[in-house]
Structure 1
Amino acid sequence: MIVKLFVLTYKEKSIKRDLMRSLIIFFLFFLLPSLAFCEKIIIKLRPDTTVEAVLGEVMAKKKYLSNNIYVIQIKKGVDVSKIISHLRGDPRVIYVESIKKGRFKGFDTLETVFSIEGGDYEGQWYLEMMEVQPCWYLSKGQGIVIGLIDSGVDYNASDIQGRILSGYDFGDDDNDPFDLNGHGTMMAHIMVAEKNGYGIAGIAPQAIILPIKINPGGEDTFETDRLVEAIFYAVGHRVSVINLSLVLEEYSEAVRDAIDYALFQGIVVIAAAGNDGLSKVSFPASYEPVISVGSVDGDGTVSLTSNYGMGLDLVAPSGLPGIYTIGLNETVYLARGTSLSAAMVSAICADMLGANDGLTPSDLFNFLKATASHPLVWEILSGYGLVNAKRAVQKALGLPVGEEIPYLSLNLISLFYPFLPYPYFTFDIYQYQYIWIDALRASPAPVDIYLEIFYPDGRSAFLTYGRDGLAQLREERLPLMRGCVFDDLEDFIPVMFLAFSPYDEAMKADMPSGSYVWRMEIIGNGESIEEYLQTFYLFNHY
């Protein structure tokens, strides 16, 4: 009985204490004039309480975000700063803060250059500086989803057609994240623009963008509650990378909380260091688990406008003489700034994940750091140095870092029937890559594919796969594939897998550099039906 009375007394005291807190907030609302500029707050509560119990009469509207985090609209006339000060002493509140402002730009658009008609790599000096083109032999970020939290994306742009998912506009609270500002569209092109002979080539041209707009209309600023909501949205839509080419005016506990949740879910977060030329990295890039990226010029020196100091991890080449990227209305701009740097590193992370999707955020950072220009020495201006796409992807694959990237080149005469009797085609092996077959006609039934390789010395062997999934060259006439069906006119069949993983080292020794001939044979119902395979070509990267 004594215990029961004690519990009852404790509950009564707790109720009285909570009631008193609500009354204090009530009096703050009715008796004090408004001194605050902001009418919204972000609050995170302990699981055993409610916003109604904590805020009482001062709450005009609430919106639940995630993980017990709420955005609260405070009634007009309330001194929000006093409300926040009082709530910080409430044990039911984990944290509370006012809404803060953030911005995208602070990067320079140096000039408008030319229309969309140009050519891949024209002016893209940064690709060579980061060894991006060799990286494409190993990975183009195939299928990796990047959450681009920004000003939206012009998803009608021809260079990124098919690379943009349906996202959301938290700035205007609708499901159309179309870009009215241009910043997000520029970032999207840096990351995933198709390598198609005009415009520019993205660093991860087979990755996918989930556009998440957080600014109202075409404004250059946004509020932190929109950013927090966008991060949770990205996590819920299973992105692998979150790009934050943006800065906040000050630290936000709610943004940090959302980033922690994304990292816990295995999503790597990359952010721009800022473009003020200050010895202070902007938030959220300054938050330790976030990969923060500064800028260097084309000569390798740190850009004068790039923020630096504690918290800076890496740099990417987005300074002078400027970076070509594509904005609204498919206009090509010459721009610079750490927003572009962050987008570059996000795309490299997509390339790494495209090669090895088992990497964690910690793995990605460690591999980027280990393959940067000075991995053993952190410097105040450049962190661990300039990122290197080729080396980072090699590290992700467990390949020797720094070696020349394997590739294979097909003799051009072999592309044009009847210059060489079909179905014989010559090809030169310098190193190793894919060969693909384009099936131009549907097959009537399952077929078996045989690929015979003729060596420079006259020997021949059949390419097949062992039980371990590794490619092998065998003297016996064994099929490359059994039971293949070409369902439509655009089926692609991987014919030779001589690159990275799975990889048979013995195969490299078996096929030294030289000129080879291959012969493809398609067998269906015991008969050769080679006419069903009409075009052979390399799925090439250049």
Structure 2
Amino acid sequence: MRMSLSVWWFCMGILWCVCSTLSAQPRLIVKLKEGQLFSYPDSQSSLSRVIDEHKLAIPARTQSLSRESLEESLFVLEFTGSKPLDSLLDQYHQSELFSYVEPDYIGRAAGQSMDVPNDPEFDQQWYLYNDGTFNFGTPKAGADIQALSAWERSQGSASITVAIIDSGINPDHAEFAGRLWRNDDDRYDGEDNDHNGYIDDYFGWDFVNEDNDPMDDNGHGTAVAGVLAANGNNALGYAGIDWNCRLMICKVVGGSQVGYYSDWIRAIYYAVQEGVDVINFSLVGVDDSRALKEAVDYAYRKGVLIVASMGNGNSSIPNYPAAYHHTLAVGASDPDDQRSTAFNGSPSRGSNYGDHIDIIAPGNYILGLNQYSTDRPGNIWAGTSMAAPMTTGVVSLLLAIDEDLPPSQVTAIMTSSCEDQIGSTQEDVEGWDPYYGWGRVNAARALASLIDQENVLEEKEILIYPNPVANVMNLRLKLPASSKLSVLIVDVEGREVERFSLVVDEQRIGEFEVDLSTHPAGLYVMKVQSQFGTSTHQLMIRH
């Protein structure tokens, strides 16, 4: 079969390469110190007062990035005139009035497309069911996420909402029929009825153009949303991972697939405050931003996991937000279970790697929906942008079974259920490695391993260290009262290797040492259960 490759190549994270597609005016993200908020009715007034009184450069436009009370002092400032960015950074930083001052960095989408082959759609979805006959690459039977087995356990739930922070979607596509999140508190009447700062945000918000129409003018977001949530078993197009979840659309990049961090940050706060359950983030930037990290951490504290793409530079250069601790960072694999090292045949466009990667998922030769059509597929896409929604879809299937799973438990389930040592022996070593993380996503294993966790021990109640462990593991627990605990350790095949009991006395704090020196090196899963809750953790033994 012949494939026509019309590849959309993107610049690789160099700020001046992308600035021409966005505003050329200098932009800063600033956070006022708490003392600067005193006695003023709102943070906007405090900001204006600080700028005027201290004779700082006056911005042409200011915008709050969050309406959350703890984050109301966070703003993006846009300036006009000839004053350069470095000068503005120095002036605002040296004023010592702000917790931090940073550029409003620019990031981009982590995917690229090519013309779709003229084949039946499901046959092209090797990532759902790979029988080794896929037309491109070197397919290997079984190198998929085991979707067919997973759907026997869960096909998703309308009670779960997934935020797509991307380039928007085509809301009229038949594959999204009945699937869009609706803000019933804000009807179409030109008023901000729910007082969230966004007028008539019925389906989500376009943070690029500041309106309530997050229509996709690029195709990236529609492709991402389709991989995750295209209607399944509807005799049309192809199947997404989750057939029932609701999609909240947050448009933060435009037709050029680049956008400001400030819009990304606002979208995260918006999605969390509107009650989303999980966020897909198929965008990357090469600049480390304190404001973006705070938004990611905020989501995590509120019980919302952000699934983020690692980036497509085939390098270990950290991309954000995937490099932040409180994300689930996803790399990409090929139809033969190898790490993607040549997206669309280019050796400079492969899946990033590094010490922050968590897992990989299929990300090359991925069929996307057509953003200009209401019923047809579109291009084939490649990139970690596609691996992320593959993973987010599995997360939403998990949440459909137990919507109270906290991010830490979701991460533990996703990583402990991966298929390990399926790739190159030089890269994919036993257990965690910087190329494949804990391995390739296996949806069936993840759902099968889900334990009833109505009561979950929080992170502050249990500490396991060191991890990885060589011989002796330390287990520290802080519980509301004395309790007997049962501890179960199983290997990656589910075989029990250790079971024992512990007692936390009336002091409510227990510290224990567990000798694991007799167990072979490898990945294990440990379940700790008490009357106050259950906690599941991945455990790596390295001798």
TM-score (norm 2): 0.63
In 1, distance between residues paired with 2:79 and 2:379? 42
Out of 40, 48, 52, which is 2:35 matched to? 48
Query: Equivalents in 1 of 2:236, 2:178: separation in Å?
Result: 16
1:109-258 matches, cutoff 5 A: 109-114=113-118, 118=120, 121-128=122-129, 129-143=144-158, 144-165=160-181, 166-195=203-232, 196-216=234-254, 218-258=255-295
Quote the residue 2:100 is aligned against: 95
One-letter identity of the residue aligned with 1:95: Y
Q: Secondary structure at the match of 1:48?
A: helix
Give the direction of change, closer, same or farther, for the CA distance of 1:402–1:152 in structure 2 (3 Å limit): farther
CA distance in 2, matches of 1:91, 1:141: 49
Q: Which amino acid aligns with 1:394?
A: A
Secondary structure of the structure 2 residue equivalent to 1:359: coil
Aligned-partner SS, 1:384: coil
- What one-letter code is carried by the residue in structure 2 that aligns with 1:48? G
Contact 2:272 2:302 in 1 (8 A): yes
SS in 2 for 1:190: helix
Give the equivalent residue in structure 2 for 1:326.
Answer: 369
Letter in 1 for 2:166: D
| Corresponding letter in the other structure for 1:123 | Q
Report the residue type matching 2:245 in the other structure: A
Pairing partner for 1:347 from 385, 393, 399: 393
1:82 aligns with 2:87: yes
Match of 1:296 in 2: 333
Structure 2 portions without partners, runs of 5+: 1-22, 37-45, 130-143, 182-202, 342-349, 422-429, 454-489, 495-543
Shift of 1:37: 5.7
- The structure-2 alpha-carbon separation of the partners of 1:204 and 1:79, relative to structure 1 and needing over 3 Å to count, comes to same
Q: Give the Cα separation in 2 of the matches to 1:169 and 1:402.
A: 45
* Partners of 1:146 and 1:208 within 8 A in 2: yes
TM-score computed with the length of structure 1 as normaliser: 0.63
Deviates more, 1:298-307 or 1:87-96: 87-96
Deviations 1:75-101, CA, capped at 9 Å, x for gaps: 423343223223334443111111111
Aligned CA distance change for structure 1 residues 300 and 122 (closer, same or farther; 3 Å): same
Q: 1:266 offset after TM fit, Å?
A: 0.5
Q: Is the 8 A contact 2:237 2:377 kept in 1?
A: no
Alpha-carbon separation, structure 1, partners of 2:218 and 2:313: 21
Aligned to 1:314: 359
Once the two structures are superposed, the pairs formed by residues 334-373 of structure 1 within 5 Å of their partners are 334-373=380-419
CA apart distance, 1:114: 4.1
How far the C-alpha of 1:398 sits from its partner, in A, is 4.4
Once the two structures are superposed, residues 48-74 of structure 1 have per-residue CA deviations (whole angstroms, 9 ceiling, x without a partner) of 312224322522332122201011223
Evaluate the alpha carbon distance shift between residue 76 and residue 345 of structure 1 in structure 2; reply closer, same or farther with a 3 A threshold.
Answer: same
1:139 partner amino acid: S
Tell me how far apart the structure 2 counterparts of residues 294 and 313 of structure 1 sit (CA, whole Å): 8
Residue in structure 1 matching 2:315, options 278, 293, 301:
278
Q: Quick one: which amino acid aligns to residue 76 of structure 1?
A: G
The one-letter code of the counterpart of 2:444 is K
Counterpart AA for 1:201: A
Q: What residue in structure 1 maps to residue 486 of structure 2?
A: none
Q: Report if aligned partners of 2:25, 2:80 keep a CA contact under 8 Å in 1.
A: no
The 3-state SS of whatever aligns with 1:285 is coil
Tell me which residue corresponds to 1:474: none
CA 1:158–1:114 in 2, change beyond 3 Å: closer, same or farther? farther
Q: Give the Cα–Cα distance (whole angstroms) in 2 for the partners of residues 161 and 299 of structure 1.
A: 33
Provide the C-alpha distance between the structure 1 equivalents of 2:97 and 2:323, rounded to a whole number of angstroms.
29
For the residue of structure 2 that corresponds to 1:348, the secondary structure is: helix
Distance 1:214 1:323 in 2: 22
**Partner residue in 1 for 2:449:** 395
Letter in 1 for 2:449: K
Q: Which amino acid aligns with 2:161?
A: V
SS of the equivalent of 1:345 reads helix
Task: Count how many residue pairs are aligned between Structure 1 and Structure 2.
Answer: 361
Secondary structure of the residue that 1:126 maps to in structure 2? coil
Out of 182-191 and 135-144, give the one that drifted further.
135-144
- Asked if the contact 1:292/1:314 (under 8 Å) is kept, the reply is yes
| RMSD, aligned CA | 2.2
What CA distance in whole angstroms lies between the structure 1 residues aligned with 2:285 and 2:353? 16
Residue 128 of structure 2 aligns to a residue whose secondary structure is helix
Structure 1 CA distance for aligned equivalents of residues 261 and 49 of structure 2:
25
Computing the radius of gyration from Cα coordinates, the structure with the larger value is 1
Q: Which residue of 1 aligns with 2:457?
A: none
8 A contact 1:200–1:325 mirrored in 2: no
Contact preservation (8 Å) 1:39, 1:76? no
**Structure 1 CA distance for aligned equivalents of residues 419 and 50 of structure 2:** 52
Contact 2:165 2:267 in 1 (8 A): yes
The 3 A distance-change label for structure 1 pair 271 and 157 is same
Cα deviation code 1:131-188 (max 9, x no counterpart): 1121112212202111100000101111111112311101111000011100000011
CA deviations 1:451-500 (Å, max 9, x no partner) are xxxxxxxxxxxxxxxxxxxxxxxxxxxxxxxxxxxxxxxxxxxxxxxxxx
* Unmatched tracts of structure 1, length 5 or more: 1-35, 404-542
The question of whether the paired residues in 1 share the 8 Å contact of 2:26 and 2:84 is answered with no
8 Å CA contact 1:114, 1:332 repeated in 2: no
Give the letter aligned to residue 158 of structure 1: A
Identity score, percent:
29
**Is the contact made by 2:165 and 2:250 (CA closer than 8 Å) also made in structure 1?**
yes
- Residues 361-416 of structure 1 show CA distances to partners (whole Å, capped at 9, x for unaligned) of 1111111111012397111211111011111112224499979xxxxxxxxxxxxx
CA distance in 2 between partners of 1:131 and 1:369 (Å): 15
SS at match of 2:101: strand
